[in-house]
Amino acid sequence: MNGPLDGLKVLDVGTVLAAPIAATLLADLGAEVLKIEHPRGDSIRTWGVNKNGAYLLWKVVNRNKKSITLNLSNPEGQEIFRRLAKDSDIVIENFRPGTMNRWNIGIDQLRKINPQIIMISISGWGQNGPYSNKPGYGTLAEGISGFAQLNGPEDSPPTLPPVGMADGTSGLFAAFAALAAIFHREINGGRGQHVDISLYESLYTLLGFTNVPVTQYDQLGVIPHRMGNRTNFESPRNLYKTKDDRWISISSTNESMAKRIFTAMGMEKLLEDPRFENNDKRLENIDEVDRIVSEWMSRHDSEEVLSLFEKNEATAGIVYDVKDMFEDEHFRARENIVTVMDSELGPMKTHGIFPIFRDTPGVIQNSGLPLGQNNEEIYMKRLGLSEKELLALKEKNVI
C-alpha cells in the first residue's frame, strides 16, 4: 500500500534536527523526500552515539529519504535546485533568514518557475523581528519559550530537557503547517506560500495550550513556577515510589477519577475530609495529599498497585525505560518498535510510524542513507544529466 502522502514531492534542505524531522514525518506517510546536503554532508551524520562508526541519530532522523548532494552556495548548484523545485510541492529549510534569497532560491524566486511551491522556513527566532538574524538553537528556544523556567523540581534551578524538545516540537508544527498549506493550495486556486516556523514559538505555543502562562499572568498577575511532577490544576498527580522501587504515575483529571484513585487505595473516606473533598481543596493541601499517597505506595509492590487501580478503573502507570518498552505487549501490538534493514548495521530496531493510518499506512523503506546515494538516479534519470556532466559537477564540488 502507498501512504496517504504518496505523490507529494518534498525537497529537504534542512540540517541537524528540526527541518529534517518535519521532512521525515512527511516521508513516513509516503511523500517522496529528497534529502539535499552539501557535498561535505550534514553535521548530524556524526552526532551522538555510534556503533562502529555508524551514527544512530542520522539513521533514524533521516529515514525514508533519498540522499543527494548539492552545493547551494554555488550558482550551478542553485540552477540545479531550481530545476528540482520546478515539479516539487514543498521545500523545507532551516537556514538563517535571508540565506535562501541570497542563494537566489527564496520563495519569490521559486514562485517564478513554480507558482504552486510551498516553502517551510524554520529558524530560531522567525523570519522577522529584532532577533531574527541572531543565531538560534533549540537550547536557547527551550529557555526563552518559558519551558526551562517551568521544568524541574520546585527547589531546583530552571531545567533544560535532555532531548531536542524545541526541534522536535518545531518539526511537528512544520509538518502540520506544510499539510495545511497544501490543503489551502488545492482548495484556493493552486498558489503556494511561505510558512514561517520558529523554534521558540513552537514550544511557547505548546505551553500556551497546556499551561496558559500568558493568560494566567494577564488575568491573575501570576507567574507560573516549577512544581516538579505536580501540576497546578489537579491533585493527586505525581510520581510515587513503590515498595519494589518502581515509580508509578497517577493523574486525577476529574472528581470521578479522584474517587476511583482513593477507592483503589482503600481511602475513599478521605473525600469526606474538608481538606480533600474537591480538587480545589486538594490543591490547597497538596503536600498532605502527596504525603498520604506516597506513604501508601511505599507499602505496596508495583504489580499490586496496578492491579488495584485497574480493578477500580483508576489511572496509573509504571515509568518505563526503553528496556521496559521492548518487553511490553502493548508496544508490540501497536508496532511501536519495528525493524528496518540498514546497510551498515543490518537489522536495526527503531520507533514505528505515527500517526497510524488504517487504510493507507506508512512504511519504513530505509534508514538514513549514505551521502549522495541517489545522485545518479536523480541527476541522470530525473534531470537528464549525462555521466560526463555528473563527473564535471563532482570535480567542481557542486555535488
Which residues are the active-site residues?
167
Nearest CA to 18 among 67, 80, 62, 56? 62
User: Ramachandran region of residue 53, left (φ > 0), alpha (ψ -120 to 50) or beta?
Assistant: left
- What's the rounded Cα separation, in Å, for the pair 167 and 174? 10
Look at strands 317-318 and 66-69 and give their pairing.
unpaired
Identify the H or E element spanning 50.
strand 50-51
- Kindly give, in sequence order, each residue whose CB lies less than 8 Å from that of residue 90, ignoring residues fewer than 6 positions away: 8, 9, 10, 11, 26, 117, 118, 119, 120, 178, 181, 182
Nearest CA to 55 among 375, 341, 368, 340? 368
- Per the CB < 8 A criterion, the answer to whether 158 and 223 are in contact is no
Give the DSSP letter string of 58-124. HHHHTTT-EEEE--TTSHHHHHHHHHHHTT-SEEEE-SPTTHHHHTT-SHHHHHTT-TT-EEEEEES
CA distance to 52, 146, 149, 230, per residue, from 233 (Å): 48, 18, 18, 9
- Per the CB < 8 A criterion, the answer to whether 217 and 149 are in contact is no
- Compute the CA torsion angle 34, 35, 38, 43 (nearest 10 deg): 180
